[in-house]
């Protein structure tokens, strides 16, 4: 049986981030991807040009349609946009016992708002306590904890604060903090353990949708039955290949290459051989 995955996120009509990146990633990692759309963005590699939110009752109608019919193995959330949507989604997900990966999407790389300021409290109060894994980037961790992160010690401290907000685990993504030419992510557990995932840092402007793709890959791995460490290792390989084997699409910050991980696997039999 192919596991069913679900993303609850915004549409990126440009295909590089949001729902579209999630479904491409779910597909590449051999899961059956389903989606609940929270907002439409008019977006390309140059930026977000407009946003239209989906009414929260229609978000829930989509969510019910999926959960009432499919045995979903893992769920991720991305752009949730408003406190109305966050409250409605949290209330519905609370009734399920499905692993939940939360990517606390706030601001697009071009600077557009993907989470209204009024929605931050709802995210902290209603959604974060439901998370199996929370996947903030550095600016998101700063916003959620109201701290400034410049050193690795700051990363550790922010992770400790985030764990107090209820998620079982936090993976602090290192895309926005340069460490010895590496892109290093850290997984924090409640018992104090920390696991580190590191790859070479690729010098490229084409990182549109990296966070979405990474959290979708973790979700697919969990759906497949991998443990969290294995799922993150696979997601890290997936995103490394997707960034390093870029497609050169669009005139701005281009999307990543969702085919690259499987292309590497087909060529070498080992996606780690980079």
Ligand X SMILES: Cc1ncc(COP(=O)(O)O)c(N)n1
- Give the active site residue among 10, 33, 78, 211: 211
Closer residue to ligand ADP in complex, CB, 4/78: 78
258 binds, among ligand X, ligand ADP, none (CB under 5 to 8 A by kind): none
Question: Which of ligand X, ligand ADP, none does residue 236 bind (CB under 5 to 8 Å by kind)?
Answer: ligand ADP
| Distance of alpha carbon 63 from alpha carbon 29, whole angstroms | 22
Among 41, 90, 145, 257, binds ligand X (CB under 6 A): 41
Closest CA to 77 of 121, 135, 138, 129: 135
Nearest to 210 by CA among 172, 179, 251, 240: 240
As a whole number of angstroms, the distance between CA 61 and CA 38 comes to 11
Q: Is 145 known to be catalytic?
A: no
Placement of tokens 């981030």 in the chain: 17
The yes-or-no answer on residue 13 being catalytic is: no
Tell me whether residue 190 is one of the annotated catalytic residues: no
Binding test (CB under 6 A) with ligand ADP, winner from 76, 87, 116, 173: 173
Q: Under the criterion CB under 6 A, does residue 136 sit at the interface with ligand X?
A: no
Pick out residues in 222-251 that bind ligand ADP (CB under 6 A).
236, 239-240, 243
Residue 20 in contact with ligand ADP, rule: CB under 6 A: no
Instruction: Name the packing angle between helices 56-67 and 83-93 (round to 10°).
Output: 20
Place of tokens 């281009």: 254
10 is a contact residue toward ligand ADP (CB under 6 A): no
Check 207, 213, 219, 256 and give the catalytic one.
207
Give the helix, strand, coil percentages of the chain, each rounded to 5: 40, 25, 35
Length of the chain: 274
Pick from 15, 167, 174, 211 the residue near ligand X by CB under 6 A: 211
Our finding on whether 219 is near ligand ADP (CB under 6 A) is no
Please provide residue 221's backbone torsions phi and psi, each rounded to the nearest 5 degrees. -65, -45
Residue 183 engages ligand ADP in binding (rule: CB under 6 A): yes
Catalytic (active site) residue 236: no
**How far is it, in rounded angstroms, from Cα 102 to Cα 219?**
10
Please indicate whether residue 210 is annotated as part of the active site: yes
Binding site for ligand X (CB under 6 A): 9-10, 12, 17-18, 41, 43, 78-79, 105, 108-109, 114, 208-212
């Amino acid at each position: 049986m192919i596991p069913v995955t679900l993303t609850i996120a915004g549409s990126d009509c440009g295909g590089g981030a949001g729902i579209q990146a999630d479904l491409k990633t779910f597909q590449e990692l051999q899961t059956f991807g389903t989606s609940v759309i929270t907002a439409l963005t008019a977006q390309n590699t140059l930026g977000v040009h407009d946003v239209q939110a989906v009414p929260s009752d229609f978000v829930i109608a989509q969510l019910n349609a999926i959960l009432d019919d499919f045995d979903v193995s893992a769920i991720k959330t991305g752009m949730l946009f408003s406190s109305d949507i966050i409250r409605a989604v949290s209330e519905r997900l609370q009734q399920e016992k499905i692993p939940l990966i939360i990517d606390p999407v706030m601001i697009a790389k071009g600077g557009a708002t993907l989470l209204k300021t009024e929605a931050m409290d709802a995210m902290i109060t209603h959604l974060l306590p439901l998370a199996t894994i929370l996947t903030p980037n550095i600016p998101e961790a700063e916003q959620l904890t109201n701290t400034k992160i410049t050193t690795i010690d700051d990363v550790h401290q922010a992770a400790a604060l985030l764990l107090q907000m209820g998620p079982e685990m936090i993976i602090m993504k290192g895309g926005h903090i340069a460490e010895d030419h590496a892109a290093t992510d850290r997984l924090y557990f409640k018992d104090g353990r920390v696991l580190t995932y590191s790859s070479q840092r690729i010098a490229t402007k084409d990182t549109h949708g990296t966070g979405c793709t990474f959290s979708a890959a973790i979700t697919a791995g969990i759906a497949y039955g991998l443990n969290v460490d294995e799922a993150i290792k696979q997601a890290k390989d997936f995103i490394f290949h997707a960034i390093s084997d870029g497609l050169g699409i669009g005139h701005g910050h281009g999307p990543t290459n969702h085919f690259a991980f499987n292309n590497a696997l087909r060529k070498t039999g080992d996606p780690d051989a980079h």
